[in-house]
């Protein structure tokens, strides 16, 4: 997949962006028909004390049955995609189509190396006054 400047695809760099705020903006843009690629998903941040965020994630993982589900994601790219899915009406055809227009990557794929990337100023983690943890750190703590 080689990208040109006018392919109508938006590439967003998630490095240093607050996960929830980024997810709400991306979900709205997906519903408006944009195709969006998110790179550096592991560098997005979740606000809150590190230990509390990890504890809440471990408690969430206890819900369900290992054989029957629900299946909980543990990879950084899947965590970001699931946060965006939670803000879409994914059970309706419109929401499913919007989710198909989204791609999420942990790093920057080789075909996206030279492409200009944008960021979301409203979701900048520099606005946070408290503590936070990156999505990749959370994923490391909740692995298997």
Domain boundaries, the chain: 9-141
Residue 3: pLDDT over 80 = no
Query: pLDDT-derived band of residue 32, with 50, 70 and 90 as boundaries?
Result: very high
* Backbone dihedral angles phi then psi of residue 94, each to the nearest 5 degrees: -65, -40
Nearest to 20 by CA among 38, 42, 44, 52: 44
The pLDDT assigned to 69 comes to 83
Fold of 9-141: Ribosomal Protein L13p; Chain: A; (3.90.1180)
C-alpha triplet 126, 38, 22: angle, nearest 5°: 40
pTM of the model: 0.90
Question: What tokens were used for 78?
Answer: 């899947």
Residue 84: pLDDT over 80 = yes
**For 51-78, how does the pLDDT look when each residue is reduced to its tens digit (9 = 90+)?**
999 999 999 988 888 788 888 889 999 9
């Amino acid at each position: 997949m080689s990208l040109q400047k006018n392919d109508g695809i938006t590439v967003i760099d998630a490095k240093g962006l607050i996960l929830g705020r980024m997810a709400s903006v991306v979900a709205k843009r997906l519903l408006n028909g944009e195709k969006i690629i998110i790179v550096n998903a592991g560098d997005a941040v979740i606000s809150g004390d590190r230990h509390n965020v990890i504890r809440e994630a471990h408690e969430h993982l206890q819900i369900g049955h290992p054989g029957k589900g629900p299946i909980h994601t543990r990879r950084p790219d899947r965590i970001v995609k699931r946060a965006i899915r939670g803000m879409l009406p994914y059970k309706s055809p419109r929401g499913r189509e919007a989710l198909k227009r989204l791609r999420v990557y942990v790093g920057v794929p080789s075909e996206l190396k030279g492409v200009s990337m944008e960021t979301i100023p409203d979701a900048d983690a520099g606005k946070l006054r408290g503590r936070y943890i990156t999505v990749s750190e959370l994923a490391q703590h909740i692995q298997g």
